[in-house]
Structure 1
Amino acid sequence: MSETGLARARSGQGARETSIDSIEAALDRLRAWFRPEVAAAISLVCLVELSGKPGGRFWLRLDAGRLSSGEGGTPAPDLIVRASASDFYAFLDGSENPDLLYMEERIRIEGSLGLALSLRLAFAPPRDRGDDGRG
């Protein structure tokens, strides 16, 4: 990304085009990407808080290879992920790298980094699985 593009991204300017445009669409994508065989040993509750439009909150619960999810909050999450809606949706669309978003502090994590890495492994985009991963 150019310095100008990087500055725009950090300031929230220059929104990216993405096919993910709602929490419902984000949850659909995450469900399609879920890898139960990888998540078999993971037990956690994650709250995702997205700022900006169309932002909001949703939760993911992983328990012994099963995924449940929904819109809104959840009591006592093990992990909280915060990002702008445009950054998070661009990541789900494959147009942003999650490592870069984290290093640039455009995705913030509250809780165990180990849990965050486990969560990331439980979801694989199509480029990492050999299928389209879109359901």
Structure 2
Amino acid sequence: MADRPRPPEDILPEQFFTRWIPEVVAADAERRRRLGNASHVLAFELEGEGGGHFHLRVDDGRVEGYRGAPERADLRIRLDVPTWRELNRGSLSAPEAFLRRRVRLEGNLLLAIKLHVIIG
């Protein structure tokens, strides 16, 4: 998915999680097919200016995004806003961010591997 859509450089995390990701998934039949009938909750905690708690609900090929922490999550992802921006730009890969401890994961780590299907 090297040619995945890239969010605008100035997008705010809230816009990214609550609107951009759900819209991109809804518009991509192949991505929805690859999600299949999976049902997961992914929680994101972004530290720093513009950050906060967000979560994505994946259910039957659809993704819905919300501001706030969910009651339960299958996977929790913690990172700072600058790291999140680098990941969105493609100047930092997810594996590299994890190995450098710039991203912290808690929960079902297999979902982290599948995260690219949702986010790109």
TM-score, normalising length: structure 1: 0.70
State the identity %: 27
For structure 2, which runs of at least 5 residues remain unmatched after alignment? Answer: 1-7, 26-30
1:63-117 CA distance string (max 9 Å, x none): 1101111111110111100000110122112222111101111011101111221
Residue type of the alignment partner of 2:16: A
1:33-57 CA distance string (max 9 Å, x none): 4321111132110110001112111
- Contact 1:43/1:61 (8 A) holds in 2: yes
The one of 13, 17, 25 aligned to 2:15? 25
Residue type of the alignment partner of 1:26: F
Which is higher, the Rg of structure 1 or of structure 2?
1
Say if 2:32 is the partner of 1:36.
Answer: yes
Q: Report how many aligned residue pairs link the two structures.
A: 107
The one of 86, 92, 111 aligned to 1:90? 86
- CA distance in 1: counterparts of 2:65 and 2:93, whole angstroms: 23
Deviation at 1:32, TM superposition (A): 4.7
Find the residue that maps to 1:38 and give its secondary structure.
helix
Deviation at 1:21, TM superposition (A): 4.5
Find the residue that maps to 1:68 and give its secondary structure.
strand
Residue type of the alignment partner of 1:113: L
- CA distance in 2: counterparts of 1:33 and 1:101, whole angstroms: 23
Question: Partner of 2:70 in structure 1?
Answer: 74
The one of 101, 105, 109 aligned to 1:105? 101
Find the residue that maps to 1:91 and give its secondary structure.
helix
